[in-house]
Amino acid sequence: MPQAFGRSSKIHDDIRENMTLATFQKSLKTTHPAVTPLPKRIPAGNDCTGAGMLQRQAYLRDHGIKVEALAGQTPSPEPEKIKGNIENLIGFSQIPVGVIGPLRINGLHAHGDFFVPMATTEGALVASYNRGAYVISQAGGASAMCLTESVSRAPCFLFHSLAETGLFLSWIYDQYDTFHDCVRETTSHGQLIDMKTSINGTAVYLIFDYTTGDAAGQNMVTVATEAICKKIIAETPVSPHTWYLEGNLSGDKKASMLSFLGARGKKVVAEALLPEKIIRKFLHSTPAAMARYCKMSTLGGIQSGCIGVQGHFANALAALFIACGQDAACVSEAAIGITDMEVTANNDLHVSVSLPNLTVGTVGGGTHLPTAKECLEMLDCYGEGKARKFAEICAVTAMAGEISIIAALAAGDFGHAHATYRHKG
């Protein structure tokens, strides 16, 4: 995702504020398992009995993690308390939640060993991610950086002629600084950071970019943009004959190339260096075999017209979004990204993932619901100041899945794993 100089400078300042290169490198060494021992793995792995579930719940409680809501020991929220989250309420869907970990992350915002909740009904998924998390952690953990963030809304204005279109554009550029006041009247958390324009015939699209604090922010930017549009309509010297609050140029909840040309949500990059002996022992493959499959997968993705190429980011993000009270529809854009694998001179495997569109939040939306709050608290990601941390955890969790699935395909174990774990009812 290319960035303008001003935004690139902001990214640089954010990185420098959180961690210098020296301290970042030091953190990778001090959190290596040989120096800082990893917590024990989640017990009773793949034990599908009630006794196994109770062991895992007890293990998490012993680590100070609450699971009362997830364990069904608290009542469902009263309908009045979830007004704004649902209409025509008839009850609550039950989706099983598994946990993986510990997943060691050495990030700018997420730093430590995490037990990650995943809500899914797909057999083999949690087991696969747990395997990837184990390999990452045994290798010393993954590095992660949340680089930039913004959420867009793109209103469209229609005119009768190109002359009117030109006059409108000439006027609108001089008004940009006044739009900040409109935004401040609607939110104390969101900020307008940019405005881009696009012309198609006599249609003018204005793409407004915002930061939204620790909220995912879709509703926030909608309200703010409507306030700007009302100001425009009230004051413009040349009125459009029609206008729309969203002209479908923001990339909202759909896969598009905007993921790599702009930003909608948070962009996170992550990497891990996996020693050959760990890959052979736990993944039953080799760095060369995994890198070769990754290359072939990339070529296949290009031929199929993929926007970005990766194995299955959507599995990780859908499971995390549902567990943690995120807007599940945003997986359609959040799951766009790139996975890369390369064999190093020491015959180890360097793995990197780039996710340019993580639309996530740790306040607002469904984050306050009992199980969602509990899952976010499991990651120490509930509330203010935690959204970038959560985004980094999402990215490294996605990486864990990429490592596991690519190893399984490279080793020829993929079909057997699904035959073993699928539901046979």
Q: Could you report the per-residue pLDDT of 257-270, keeping only the tens digit for each?
A: 888 876 678 999 99
Residue 149 DSSP code: E
Helix or strand holding residue 173 (H, E): helix 162-186
Phi/psi at 338 (5° precision): -135, 135
CA distance 18 to 11: 11
Average pLDDT, the chain: 91
How much is the average pLDDT of 195-213? 95
Counts for the chain of helices (H) and strands (E), in that order: 14, 10
Q: Is the pLDDT of residue 240 over 50?
A: yes
Report all structural domains of the chain as residue ranges with CATH numbers, in order of start. Answer: 5-147+267-421 (3.90.770.10), 155-244 (3.30.70.420)
- Strands 142-153 and 97-107, by their bridges, are parallel
Name every residue whose Cβ is closer than 8 Å to that of residue 92 and which is 6 or more positions away in sequence.
76
Amino acid 350: pLDDT: 98
Neighbour-count burial of 240, counting CB atoms closer than 10 A to its CB (0-12 exposed, 13-18 middle, 19+ buried): buried
How much is the average pLDDT of 301-329? 96
Name every residue whose Cβ is closer than 8 Å to that of residue 107 and which is 6 or more positions away in sequence.
142, 143, 144, 145, 146, 270, 389, 392, 396
What pTM was computed for the model?
0.91
Amino acid 413: pLDDT: 74
Q: Is the pLDDT of residue 422 over 80?
A: no
The residue assigned the tokens 């290798």 is 139
CA distance 312 to 162: 45
Amino acid 16: pLDDT: 61
Local confidence band at 204 (pLDDT 50, 70, 90 cut-offs): very high
Q: Could you report the per-residue pLDDT of 356-383, keeping only the tens digit for each?
A: 999 999 999 999 999 999 999 999 999 9
Amino acid 33: pLDDT: 73
Contact between 249 and 154 (Cβ < 8 Å): yes
How much is the average pLDDT of 112-117? 97
Catalytic residues, which ones? 122, 327, 418
CA distance 305 to 240: 37
Q: Which of 278, 269, 28 is nearest to 140 (CA)?
A: 28
How much is the average pLDDT of 201-226? 94
In the three-class reduction of DSSP (H, G, I as helix; E, B as strand; rest coil), residue 105 is classed as strand
Q: Could you report the per-residue pLDDT of 378-417, keeping only the tens digit for each?
A: 999 999 999 999 999 999 999 999 999 999 999 987 666 5
Amino acid 1: pLDDT: 41
Amino acid 12: pLDDT: 55
Neighbours of 296 (CB within 10 A): 12
CA dihedral 312, 316, 318, 324 (to 10 degrees): -170
Amino acid 260: pLDDT: 83
- Tell me the DSSP string of 216-281: --HHHHHHHHHHHHHHHHHH-SS--SEEES--S-S-TTS--THHHHS-SEEEEEEEEEE-HHHIII
Cross-strand partners of 153: 208
Q: Is the pLDDT of residue 2 over 50?
A: no
Amino acid 408: pLDDT: 95
In percent, the amount of the chain with pLDDT more than 70 equals 89
Helices 125-138 and 414-421, packing angle to 10 deg? 120
Contact between 148 and 3 (Cβ < 8 Å): yes
Q: How far is CA 324 from CA 111, 119, 407, in A?
A: 19, 9, 28
Q: Could you report the per-residue pLDDT of 21-56, keeping only the tens digit for each?
A: 555 555 555 567 777 889 999 999 889 999 999 999
Cross-strand partners of 142: 105
Q: Which of 334, 374, 370 is nearest to 115 (CA)?
A: 374
Local confidence band at 5 (pLDDT 50, 70, 90 cut-offs): very low
Amino acid 145: pLDDT: 95
Calculate Rg over the CA atoms of the chain: 23
Local confidence band at 10 (pLDDT 50, 70, 90 cut-offs): low
